[in-house]
Chains A and B, each alone.
Chain A
């Protein structure tokens, strides 16, 4: 800059500073995201990725691990207990998710009508959500107790024979599903309530002009408007159900006869009871693949919903 053309000089200098300030603008952002970037990398991305190399070894808590190639995977697909756990997990998801969604929507519809006491009812429905899985497990194990539990007690009073609930292979998983109707329906209800309140009143008025009320309005106004909410609830419920762990741990220890052993319970058992960390990692990789596929599917569905 020789100072001869002040006009251009000024321009250049302005350009120069704005370039630098853009870079500086980026710098502050990098500094600010830094700590979170480090935590998410170290405690999420790295373990996520590390599952793969560990699954190729016979890692155990004691002793040196050695590379075993795909042995764990070959073993995994021939291990009937893993296949049973996979089937149990899928069976559970198929029972839990649809029922929980219907209950959540049903409760939201009920609590969205003008009824006395609905505020109290909302609190009561959401409240179980604050209880931890261990406490929830022990409450329901007590209520499901075949001899002294209140559920069988009242069933017998009604002249029914009662059930073995958690202690019978044919009803053990169903019992966990029922317990979760109590524990987790509040989440779906709150999300659906917010969804219902977001539907413009004019739509119902317009529908009423066309003679659509009640079921028809529900079918053609409410349900379509709730589609994004429904996708979200479906995804969250599916993922939470896939990770079912605390309930079998507290209520059944995976039994009876492995009927409530889920994938996560199997991972826990292989890794921390049988101390086969390599093998458990192979199951984890299988599990991560399923979860990632679900997340990807969801994000594509959401994107297509936005377009």
Chain B
């Protein structure tokens, strides 16, 4: 009696477990489908002949696939120029950010000085207040200083972002201080301590900073939209939106989706590569900045 009871209990327990697993796997499949379909659809559309894009049937594998849209994206628009501009601005932003933020983050981690907590507060505030909130006064300052429509004008506002300072400060605080103190007693200057002892240990933090600031710069839209109007400095999100997708002046006419998706894919490829290569730092970056 007792035995059969146990057995049925065991069986129902196993059955419940199986149902739960089944449910979890179905959910997982749904999740993967929802999060991958838009990108698959983007690539699929980009490989279609323009005439076959607007079709009543859904064709996941284009027949025949064509690279025509990719060719047209580069030949009809200065897409290459926009991509180069985005790269220049992003590389300059990341390099200057690191150059400025490493000493600042180090100083905030190791010294208490007048105004240090205010500066740290500002650094956090700059992370939270979106540029959209002060777009207008920023534009007034930059146009008065004749910095609009120049690379430098696209780089400078990004240097106020405190992400790098914050991350480096947190990182330095976890490094034992003894080695630095010993070096200072031996007569090393603070710069020598920073460049020879601390900096070599900062690699993971710098990797995270590089990914996040590169992506933020590569993808930034609102500020370049108003501060880069000529093709010579226009970055890819602005070029795509205004010229390729044609979303300006309240026009709701359907864009040429084949061409649009091809250009969109080209513009996204660098971030996808950076993401896949440096994925670990990416996830760590979100997690550490999220949890402090």
Contacts and interface: CB of A to CB of B under 8 A. Distances in A.
Interface string A30-61: 11110111011011111110110010000101
Interface residues of B, number: 98
A280 B221 CA distance: 19
Contact of B272 (A42, A130, A246): A130
Interface in B97-135: 99-101, 103-104, 106-108, 110-111, 113-114, 116, 119, 122-123, 125-126, 128-130, 132-135
If over half of B's interface residues share one DSSP class (helix, strand or loop), that class is named, otherwise mixed; here it is helix
Contacts of A44: 122, 125-126, 129, 134, 160
Contacts of A94: none
Contact of B240 (A42, A135, A245): A135
Given A26-B111, A36-B100, A249-B241, A142 B272 contact: no
B219 interface: yes
A110 B250 contact: no
A40 B160 contact: yes
Contacts of A288: 129, 133-134
A143 B38 contact: yes
- Interface SS of chain A: helix
Interface stretch (A3-11, A76-84, A186-194): A186-194
B141 A194 contact: no
A32 B107 contact: yes
Nearest to A43: B160
Interface string A192-205: 01110010000000
B141 A47 contact: yes
Contacts of B104: 32-33, 35-37
Interface stretch (A12-20, A216-224, A235-243): A235-243
Interface of A: 25-26, 28-33, 35-37, 39-40, 42-48, 50-51, 54, 59, 61, 107, 110, 113, 115, 117-118, 120-128, 130-135, 137-140, 142-143, 145, 147-148, 150, 153-154, 167, 182, 186-187, 190-191, 193-195, 198, 228-229, 232-233, 235-236, 239-240, 242-243, 245-246, 249-250, 252-253, 255, 264, 267-268, 271-272, 277, 280-281, 284, 287-288, 291-292, 295
